[in-house]
A = this chain, B = another copy of it.
Amino acid sequence: MTYRAPVEDFKFVFHYLANMPGLLDLSAFAGVETDLINAVLEENAKFTAEVVAPTNRISDRQPPVCQNGKVEMPSQIHEAFKHFVDGGWQGLRHPEQWGGQGLPKLLATATTENLYAANVAFSLCPMLTDGVIEALLLTGSEEQKRTYIEPLVSGKWTGTMNLTESQSGSDLSLVTTRAVAQADGTYRLFGQKIYITFGEHDLAKNIVHLVLARTADAPPGVKGLSLFIVPKYLVNPDGSLGARNDVWCASIEHKLGIHGSPTAVLLFGDQKGEVGAGAVGTLVGQENRGLEYMFIMMNAARFAVGVQGIGVSEAAMQKAFAYARDRIQSRAIEGSAGPVAIIHHPDVQRMLMTMRALTQGARAIACFAAAADDLSIEHPDPEVRRANQALYDYLVPVVKGFSTECSLEVTSLGVQVHGGMGFIEETGAAQFYRDARILTIYEGTTAIQANDLIGRKTLRDAGATAQHLIQCMRQTLQELQQHASNPHSGEQSEWGLIVENLTLAITQYESVVAYVLDQTKDDIRAVYAGSVPYLMMTGYVLGGWLMARAALACANAQTENTDTVVSAAFMKNKRATAVFYAGVILPRAQALALAIHQGVTLTHAVERSSLMD
């Protein structure tokens, strides 16, 4: 069984939860019709299933190695990458001005998820290229844009992001890489960066490194960081490649997962280049504003990593469903003539439904966020743009943190559904488990996302965005209540369950937001002790809200008997998943809320002990 893109779920979520029709009405997307969106979805499904997915095991089993500073990728990966470039997939959501297709980010959320699902290690290269493009579009000089963006958008060159040093991970104030200004306006960089994804490889002719470094007179801390473009090969004025720059791959890490992604240690200024001592770089924007610029790239990458979590979850889930339908073992719980496929056993169903509910819940949040991103850029009304920017900013750490934490659970359940076979590497379930494990770490750990969610996204606007979401949820609750009380709506207990648990979850979410706002003045440690629980709770509640909206949309479509974008069978399944989400997943919000509210007692208890000495 091979991976197949969840095209029907994307069509459903686009239409009913992320208002794709409204988006396509914007003048920015003039000429883009639903038919085109669907055609891209189908073409992307074909590409990811037929070209990329078959390389997933190869990426795992033939990890690239570094020899004499060079990293050779397997031939099958070269071939897949060539198809990726030829298909124009890198340019999907980038401006037509630079050779892209200018399609909605909402659509790109789907196409990238499918790529991540098919081979997450491979997909990291395009993901980082996307980030470099976004950063240069917003902060690069005209010359920098002219030089770099078109080859990046076409996929001819690839990009990387250079932040981490061995003493400087989550805390970028400790970065020591130096940038020395030259008479010609360029800089020479000296230092060592670690964990550089696709920092060296032979898929593309050139690699464009974005590097955080410190100029000679820079202030200490994060306010002294500047951002530089350091290409592997210098670029001549006519766009052709020049001298080999002084940036070198020293080694490739031996990792738990994503073996197919070369994670490089890069040495800048090791004096082996054709340019003399020091890697030649050009400053992006102004000095000492590097972190701010890097955050543009990082925000794009954070959202993308969240979508990776969803993609890997989807792939693991599909594999588990297929195995559970195939594997015959034990009689049915109610009795049966002989052994049955394990998909009929209640606990296997619980595991599969948990995988499905979490994956679809996280996908709904990500698409809802992507639509806000599109609106924040393309809507004609500045007030709508501003509101959607705030919404998207609030949702990015949730998409990143929640989707990736869920992917750990989903891929673990994927192993469990396979029983003993799941532990055998050849089965492939274990690869998803290993690959997913980086997702809650890179581009900012879940704790870093949670700090962002509390500090910059909840406290800074005094909870206004969170309150806006709560109002949206209460609106849905009213519709649900009307629906649940309608004698024709059927399955009363299911609607009752959704209404009851969503009501509770919203109330608790509101109380937790209030706790965060109030308690910060008195005991900031107590608040941050609940930071990840707050992030996870936000994810569970938003997912529950969107799944409830999905159930409503299915019911309304049935009642109105109109043409629907998906099949009747899909909608029946979506409703069952929404009920399962409400009954099994949403109650987790309650446990988290209880813990968050105990922040003061808990931190005091730990402080009085000697555990942290």
Contacts and interface: CB of A to CB of B under 8 A. Distances in A.
Nearest to A426: B254
Contact of A445 (B164, B194, B416): B416
Interface string A576-599: 110110011001101110110010
A415 B437 contact: yes
**Interface size, A (range):** 35 or more
A407 B352 CA distance: 21
A608 interface: yes
A533 B354 CA distance: 12
Of listed A350, A437, A451, A497, residue having the most chain B CB within 10 A: A350
Interface string A530-569: 1111000000000000000000000000000000000001
Contact of A602 (B426, B434, B583, B602): B583
A216 interface: no
Contacts of A425: 254-256
A503 to B, nearest CB: 13
B579 A601 contact: yes
Contact of A169 (B329, B577, B583): B329
A356 B612 CA distance: 12
A561 B74 CA distance: 69
Count of chain copies: 2
A330 B170 contact: yes
A4 to B, nearest CB: 16
B529 A575 contact: no
A592 B354 CA distance: 13
Interface of A is mostly: helix
B531 A610 contact: no
Interface of A: 164, 167, 169-171, 173-174, 194-195, 253-257, 328-330, 333-334, 339, 343-350, 352-353, 356, 408, 412, 415-416, 419-420, 422-426, 430, 433-434, 437-438, 440-442, 445-447, 450-451, 491, 493-494, 497, 501, 524-525, 528-533, 569, 572-573, 575-577, 579-580, 583-584, 587-588, 590-592, 594-595, 598, 600-606, 608-612
Q: Considering the complex of A and B, which 5 residue pairs feature the smallest CB-CB distances, nearest first?
A: A576-B609, A347-B447, A579-B605, A587-B594, A587-B591
27 contacts: A169-B329, A169-B420, A173-B330, A174-B339, A195-B420, A253-B424, A254-B424, A254-B425, A256-B434, A346-B528, A347-B447, A349-B612, A352-B612, A353-B611, A416-B441, A419-B445, A420-B442, A491-B605, A572-B609, A573-B610, A573-B611, A576-B605, A577-B611, A579-B601, A580-B605, A587-B592, A590-B594
